[in-house]
Chain A
Amino acid sequence: MLGFVLRRIALTIPVLLGLTVLVFAIARLLPGDPVALAAGPNATPAEIEAYAREFGLDRPIPVQYWTYLTGLLSGDMGVSIFTRRPVAEDIAAYLPATLELVLAAMLLAVGLGLPAGLAAAVWRDRWPDTVSRVLALGAISMPRFFLGLLLQLGLAMALGWLPLGGRFPITEDPPPLVTGLLTLDALLAGDLRALGLALQHLLLPAVALSLSPLATIMRMMRASTLEVLSRDYVLTERALGLPEWQIIGKYVARNAVSATLTVIGLYFGWLLGGTVLVETVFDWPGLGLYATKSVVTQDFMPVIGVTLVIGTLFVAINLVVDILYGVVDPRVRVT
């Protein structure tokens, strides 16, 4: 098992190197003047030249890549031309909010998607199945940012039940900083009031983000449950007279879940992409909001930094899923 884990970790190193090459290529090799971009839209030619010399942008490309790579290893992601702050510091400040949102959305998607898919398969072609099919069709075609706006319009603006955006009321003291995830920090501090406030703010963005992975997970769970239901051992169990709830709950659900879980890593990528849109709608102070604000002000280094961090997260999550898959299914460990 240890060998399998180590092998999988070793395999991600070339992937991460590839990611830095990709990001570097976007930053330096695409048409458009990277130096002018990095120096900002209002820089004079002399300023641009000085900037190029200062950051080594006048040197050969392989040298530049090496400098970039060694800089990354020491945590240097460049400087925002807008705020003059180091990008790495900003990203460290925004990352927990994004993680909290993505994890909450994943919990919703898995926690509701799996039982809903199971129900759709068990009551195949009856009303739970039809309802789930129609919802899934709508959910996959629904732009997340539009769904977010609708939720805001209905639940926050018209009914006033939930806050419009942000992470925490500015008039209140947030729980002491431990993990950066406000809900977790509130729990750790035993502050139920803060937990409630944080959850209120988290609910709408998490729902908006989770809907399309929820629909997909539900459909996959339905398909794998139907497949398991047609196996011979289910027939045997029925022939032996086991109660239906026991067959479904004990044997079918477990086998169907492990088949569905293996693809969940892919949906994390989906969530990491979608979080940009949802954070913009809900003013959620995470990486996505940081990136979109930077894009609009043509502040280039933060965009590149966020791309790199989200890419790394994506790779890391897939690694974890791969390893978990090996834990669940021993056959995978061999290859």
Chain B
Amino acid sequence: MSAALEAGASPRRVAWRRAVYRFGQSRLSLVGLALSGLVLAMALFGGLLAPYPEHVAGGIATGARFAPPSLAHPFGTNELGQDVLSLVLAGARVSVLAGLAVVLLGALVGTALGAIAGYAGGWTDEILMRLADLKLTVPGLILAMAVAAALGPGLLNMVVAIALSWWPGFARLVRGEVLARREEPYIVAARAVGVGRVRILLRHLLPNVLTPVIVKVSLDVGFAILAVASLGFIGIGVKPPTPEWGSLLAIARSYMPDFWWMAIFPGLAIFVAVLGFNLLGDGLRDLLDPRTRR
């Protein structure tokens, strides 16, 4: 590869360029990047782009109820006369940012607990891992539903409820990586010269186990968005008038099949968001995980 031959390029830089090149070779990864970029932009700026911002805030237009898709309302209007396009654009904020928050929270807690379990070993490890095993007894969505029911409705409660079933995956991953590395020469050397445990964990072990964590974050975001939308669909999560994709779909159910546009567009939005992040995650995994390289 020509990048490797360039004079003065550091090995790290060469590896990076090679990775970017390989990522660009995969058409599906690029589609994923484009879709997730679009969805992320919707999450950040969707509310501003909404053609009818007053509908996002809960305003209604009884004169324009159940209008089919048209130039004025590309996605049609709903039972309150609100513009569905505006609601879908604004709904991205809750659905996507809550999905991201779930994964980041799960990754943070899971990485911390997994690293502690792996490095400390003994009873700490035993207790933390048995706690993580509890996740294997209840499917994540059911657990999230029960926790959300106990905490009461609300966006923050929903994020916490889902994250509660998300951290064990990260904890197990990080624990395994830490266990595999804790006796490597550079760690033993650090211990020998008297570096403290906390410092070894933070400065020497964690940076080396971060790559699989990043890969897992990118693979999980799509599924977290799906989980958020699922809880929204069964009626846990944000309360109206805050638009959210799952609950938009739940409301639309009552008005099928005549007013199909109310269901189709929020549903497509969920599908596109999940697909985009899944493709991006797959691409990043192929890029960063040496085991899957061909």
Contacts and interface: CB of A to CB of B under 8 A. Distances in A.
Nearest to A295: B149
The B interface, classified by DSSP as helix, strand, loop or mixed, is: helix
A294 B142 CA distance: 13
A269 B63 CA distance: 47
Contact of A146 (B134, B143, B256, B270): B270
Interface stretch (B114-122, B169-177, B195-203, B229-237): B229-237
A158 B139 contact: no
Given A34-B150, A141-B274, A291-B145, 15 more contacts: A22-B137, A22-B138, A30-B151, A32-B151, A143-B271, A152-B256, A273-B141, A280-B234, A295-B145, A300-B149, A304-B146, A307-B145, A310-B138, A311-B137, A314-B138
Interface of B: 28, 130, 133-134, 136-143, 145-152, 222, 226, 229-230, 233-236, 246, 249, 252-253, 256-257, 260, 263, 267, 270-271, 274-275, 278-279
A153 B230 contact: no
B142 A310 contact: yes
Contacts of A270: 139
Given A143-B270, A269-B139, A149 B253 contact: yes
A168 interface: no
Interface in A270-296: 270, 272-274, 276-277, 280-281, 291-292, 294-296
A79 interface: no
B41 to A, nearest CB: 19
Interface of A: 15-16, 18-19, 21-23, 26-27, 30-32, 34, 37, 137-138, 140-146, 149-150, 152-153, 157-158, 269-270, 272-274, 276-277, 280-281, 291-292, 294-296, 298, 300, 303-304, 306-307, 310-311, 314-315, 318
Nearest to A289: B234
13 contacts: A19-B134, A30-B150, A31-B151, A32-B150, A140-B278, A145-B249, A149-B249, A153-B257, A158-B257, A276-B145, A298-B149, A307-B138, A311-B138
Contacts of B147: 26, 30
A277 B130 contact: no
Contacts of B274: 141-143
A273 B234 CA distance: 13
B236 A277 contact: no
Contacts of B235: 292, 295-296
A144 B271 CA distance: 10
A222 B278 CA distance: 20
